[in-house]
Amino acid sequence: MERTMTPAARRVLDVAGRLFYERGVGQVGMELIAAEANVTKKTVYDRFGSKEALILAYLRERDERWRVFLDARLADAGGPRERILATFDAIGDWLRTESARGCSMVNACAELPDPAHPVHRTAAEQKAWLRNLYAELAAEAGFGAAMADRLLILHEGAVVAFSVGNMPDAARTARATAETIMNAGT
């Protein structure tokens, strides 16, 4: 259910987003969110309805921030191949500044493993969007659908390698791999 984003709701979502990302969605209670947002627990529930709805709002907002960030980077890129490579530059910068703990969608799914939980649908929608973006970029560069899958896997692998594998240059490595694959024409 959509609710008006009052200043108090904005504070709640900002605090929840920070806490959910830093500590995990399962480790953060509504009491802590209310206290850190300087609102009552009733206000949290009045604005968001449930913890589940707050988690989904957090994930959607974080995804929207990522999309805006990526769109800006793509707008500054040159031709089709440069736009593909720019996605890896963007994820590298995003990881260093916004996502040291990896993908918020994947993290939430790991904490809430029931595939029927709405978090899984939200994450699947985000991953489908990213796959479709790579499909569009690959088509612009003259590649088929298989290239989109390869690029998506490189992208997702870079996120995991950065956050879990302690590989600070994971996005740069993924970028170089994407360039190699594109040059090979596969």
Query: In angstroms, what is the C-alpha Rg of the chain?
Result: 18
The CATH number of the domain where 16 resides is what? Answer: 1.10.10.60
Supply the pLDDT for residue 1.
44
Q: Which domain holds residue 7?
A: 1-49
Q: Are residues 44 and 72 in the same domain?
A: no
Given 26, 49, 72, the domain boundary residue is: 49
Supply the pLDDT for residue 5.
84
| Residues contacting 164, CB < 8 A, separation 6+ | 102
- How many separate domains does the chain show? 2
Instruction: Give the pLDDT of the chain (186 residues) as one tens digit per residue.
Output: 444 589 999 999 999 999 999 999 999 999 999 999 999 999 999 999 999 999 999 999 999 999 999 999 999 999 999 999 999 999 999 999 998 899 999 999 999 999 999 999 999 999 999 999 999 999 999 999 999 999 999 999 999 999 999 999 999 999 999 999 999 986
Residue 55 belongs to some domain of the structure: no
Supply the pLDDT for residue 99.
85
Q: Are residues 42 and 3 in the same domain?
A: yes
pTM of the entire predicted model: 0.92
The CATH number of the domain where 145 resides is what? Answer: 1.10.357.10
